[in-house]
Structure 1
C-alpha cells in the first residue's frame, strides 16, 4: 500500500508567492523520499532582497537568507541557533509573541510589523509576512519574509509630526484659520477658535459647511464674494473687512487675509485667517463720531453766536434733529423751566420716523414732579439710565414716567449756572437700549453751556 505525505513550505520569489513542496512516498516494502534539494532552495531564497528567517515555536532561528545576514552584519552561523527575540526591539517583543501565537492551520499566514536593531545599532521598522510550516496539521516552524520600511515610516512620522505641530500652531493662534473649497465655498477646515469668534462650534460648521457664509452681513456679502473671486483668479492677497453676525445677534467686525492653494490633483482651495477687529473698529467708529459731533457743535456754536429771538425756534429744531440722527437716538428734546409758573415745558422736540411725540405730555408739568431729577443734575450735570431695570424699587414713579413714553434708555444733560437750572437737553432711546460714552456726554455738556449762554443773551433778565 502506498501512502503520500505533502509538506508545503511557502516563500517569495521575485515578488510572487511561491511554495517549496516536499513529497514523501512510502509503501510497505520500501520508503522512497523525494525532496527538492536543500541547496537549490537556499540558492533561490538567497537571491531575494527581502529578509527571510525561519524559526521554531520556541523562537530559535533555524534558517536565514543572505539579505537577513547583511541586515544584521552577521554570518548565518552567528545567527542560526540564536533566539529570534535578540534582534527584536524590547518594546515590541510582547506584540511579536502574541502575533506568533495566532498562526494556526486555520490561519496559516499573518502580517505584522515590528522594530529591529540592525548591525549598525539603528532601529529599523520591518513589515513581515509570517507563514506557518506544518507537518500534517502540526505547526513546527514559522518562516518570516520582511521588508525594511523604515524610510517610509520615518517620512510618515515626520509628516504626522509636522501636521501635529501645524495644528497646534493654528489652534493657538488668536484668529480663525480656515480652508474652503474654492468652487463651492464649502468649509474643509475651520479652527476651534470659530466658537469664541462666532458662537458656533466646529461641529456646527462641519454639519453645515455653508453656515459661516450665510452669517456674513447681507450688506457685505457682495464685497466678500468679489474678494474671494480675485483670490482664485489673480492670486490676490488683498485684506478685506466685513461684518459677521454672531450667534447671539451682535455684529463682529472681521479682518480676513488669505490666498489660494492648489492640491496635487489640481483642486483649488482658499486658505486664510479671520481676525476679530471689533474693538479697533468700534474705537475707530467712536473717534469718527466724536469728530463728527465736535464739528457739528462747532458749526452750531457759530450759529448760536448770532441767533436772534425770532430764529431761536427753527435753529433749536434743526439742532435737535441733527444731533438725534448723529447720536442714533429716537427722540431728542429741550425742557425749559418756567419759574414764574413753577412748571416745566417741552419747548422743542424731534422724533425719528415711527416714534410718537411726548411733547404734549410735558406741558405745564409741576416742577415738584421732578424733585428726583434736580439733585442728580446738580451734582453731575447729567443723568444716564442705560437700563430701566437699574432703577431701585423706591424709584418706581420714575420708571412709570419713562415707560409711559416707551423709553428704554435716557440721557439728560443739564443747562445750569451754578445751582440755577434753566432746563435740560434730553435724548431717548425707544427702540432698544443704548449706552453713552463719556466723551459724547462731555461734548453735549459743553454744548448745553453754549445753549444756556445764548438763551441768557436773547432773554435778558429772565431766570
Structure 2
C-alpha cells in the first residue's frame, strides 16, 4: 500500500498516541523503528495535512520487536522480521489445521485410534472409540493393540496391523474387537499414516460391522436351510434306497443345526415297543443305537404324552426338566445329553415314531429356522415311510396271490382286459408243456 495515499482498506487505523499506549514504547523508539523500516505508517489526509496512521499489523510487529528486546535479543532486521511473520503465519495455519482435525476427530461417527506402529501402543482415541470399547480417553492412552482384541485372534490382528503400518494394506476386514466387559464385536479398520509433533503414527478408523455380519449370517444360513430342505425333499422324491436317504438326511439336518446326534425311532406294530432304527452322530460323539432297541414306549411317559398330543419337545437344558419328567431326565443325563429337540412323525395322522436331535456339548435352544426345517423334514420322512409301508404291503399282497395261484391244482390263466395273459399256474404250464 502506498504510504502517501489515503488508507483505502476498511481495516481500522491507529494514531501514534494510541500505538505508544498499546505497545508501551516511547515516541523515540517508534520513530527509530520507522527509520529502520521495521514498520511503515500510512499517511492519511485530513484537509490540507497528512497524518501518520498505523494498522493492527504494524502494532503486532512492534509488540514482537519489543518482546525480543525485553528478552535480551538484538534488534531484528527486516529479513528476520519477515521470517518471524512467516513462522507466525505457519503456526497459525498449523493451529487452525490441528483444530480442524480435532473437531473432525471428536465428532466422527466411527471409532478412531491413533497407534504407535513400533510398540503398538495407543497415542489417543476419539470419543466414539471410547464409547465402543467402554474406556475413557485417558484409559485408552494406557492400552495397546494387544489389549482390545480376543487372545485367540491376536495373530491375525497383528498381521493386519503390521501390513497397514508398512502401507501394504489399507482396509483390514473382519477384525474382532473386545470391549472392556469382555464382549466382542466385529469391525472393518481403515488405516492411514498421520504425523503428530514430528512423529508418524498409524490412524485406524473402526467401523462396527456386527449387524452387517449378523444379517449376512442370517442370509447364508437361510440359503443353507433352503439347500438342505431341497436336498432332503429331492432325495425322497427320487427314492432308490430309503435307508440311505434317511441316514443322509439325518446327517444333513444334524450338521446344519449343530446337533451332536440325530436319530429316528419307530414304534412297533402294537405301539408298545420302539426301536432306534436310524442314527447319525458327529465326530467325537458316541453312538447309542445299539443300546436303544426294543424299548418299552411307556418308559418315557412325559415324553410320550407330549408326542401323542402332537407337541414338539424342546428341552433347552436337561438339568432344568420339571419333576414330572424325572424319568426322562435320568435317561438323558446318562447319555450326557445337555439339550435336545424331538418332533413326532406321522403316517395318516397316526403317530409312528419321532425324530430327535441331541446336543452333548452345550445347552441352548434351536432357532426358528431350525424348527421349520426339522418339521418339514419329519413330514417328508413320514411320507417316505408311508410309501415304503404301502410298497411292502403291495409286495406282500402280490406274494400272497402268487402263492394262492401256485396252490391251485386246476388249470388257471389270468388275462388283462385286453386279453393279454398275465400269469398261469403250474398245473396249466404242465398241461401245455411250458416251463
Q: TM-score range by the shorter chain?
A: 0.5 to 0.7
| Secondary structure at the counterpart of residue 307 of structure 1 | coil
Structure 2 residue 142 is matched with structure 1 residue 207: yes
Instruction: Name the residue aligned to 1:277.
Output: 209
* 1:257/1:273 contact within 8 Å kept: yes
Q: What RMSD in Å do the two structures reach over aligned CA positions? A: 4.9
- CA distance 1:278–1:401, shift in 2 (3 Å): farther
Q: Residue 290 of structure 1 corresponds to which residue in structure 2?
A: 222
2-side partners of 1:157 and 1:261: how far apart?
A: 16
Task: Report the CA distance between 1:437 and its aligned residue.
Answer: 1.9
The answer to whether 1:165 aligns with 2:98 is no
Aligned with 1:347 (options 266, 274, 277) = 277
CA distance in 1, matches of 2:107, 2:340: 47
Residue 429 of structure 2 corresponds to: none
Correspondences of 1:328-343 after superposition (within 5 Å) = 328-343=258-273
Decide whether aligned partners of structure 1 residues 273 and 298 sit closer, same or farther in structure 2, where only a CA change above 3 A counts.
same
Partner of 2:114: 179
Q: 1:154 to 1:305 in 2, by over 3 A?
A: closer
1:307 aligns with 2:245: no
Change (3 A) 1:155 1:249: closer
The answer to whether the Cα contact below 8 Å between 2:135 and 2:180 also exists between their aligned partners in 1 is: yes
- Equivalent in 173, 176, 180 of residue 240 of structure 1: 173
- Work out whether residues 190 and 206 of structure 2, in 8 Å CA contact, stay in contact via their aligned partners in 1: yes
Is the partner of 1:460 in helix, strand or coil?
helix
SS in 1 for 2:247: helix
Q: In structure 1, what is the Cα distance between the partners aligned to 2:333 and 2:136?
A: 39
Contact kept? 1:217, 1:245, Cα under 8 Å = no
TM-score by length of 1: 0.58
C-alpha deviation, 1:274, in angstroms: 1.8
Distance 2:250 2:93 in 1: 72
Unaligned runs of 5+ in 1: 1-45, 55-62, 68-118, 130-149
Q: Give the equivalent residue in structure 2 for 1:102.
A: none
The aligned counterpart of 1:28 is: none
Measure the CA separation in 2 of the matches of 1:399 and 1:228.
53
CA spacing shift, 1:64–1:421, aligned 2, 3 Å:
farther
- C-alpha spacing 1:410/1:152, structure 2 compared with 1 (3 Å): same
Provide the C-alpha distance between the structure 2 equivalents of 1:199 and 1:399, rounded to a whole number of angstroms.
42
- Larger strand proportion of the pair: 1
Question: What is the aligned counterpart of 1:359 among 289, 302, 315?
Answer: 289
- 1:205 and 1:327 map into 2 onto residues whose CA distance is 40
Q: Is it true that 1:415 corresponds to 2:350 in the alignment?
A: no
Q: 2:329 aligned with 1:436, yes or no?
A: no
Structure 2 runs not aligned, ≥5 long:
1-16, 32-54, 68-87, 394-435
Is the counterpart of residue 401 in structure 1 residue 337 in structure 2?
no
Change (3 A) 1:223 1:52: closer
The separation in 1 between residues aligned to 2:136 and 2:335, in whole angstroms, is 41
Alignment of 1:47-446 (within 5 A): 162=100, 165-166=103-104, 168-170=106-108, 173=109, 175-191=110-126, 193-194=128-129, 197=132, 205-212=140-147, 215=150, 217-218=152-153, 221-222=155-156, 225-226=159-160, 229-230=163-164, 232-233=166-167, 237-238=170-171, 240-244=173-177, 251-263=184-196, 265=198, 267-308=199-240, 311-374=241-304, 376-377=306-307, 381-388=311-318, 391-417=321-347, 419-446=349-376
3-state secondary structure, aligned to 1:406: coil
Indicate the residue corresponding to 1:99 in structure 2: none
Q: Deviations over 1:156-212 (max 9, x none)?
A: 996786566345414xx3x42211223333222234555664567766654342324
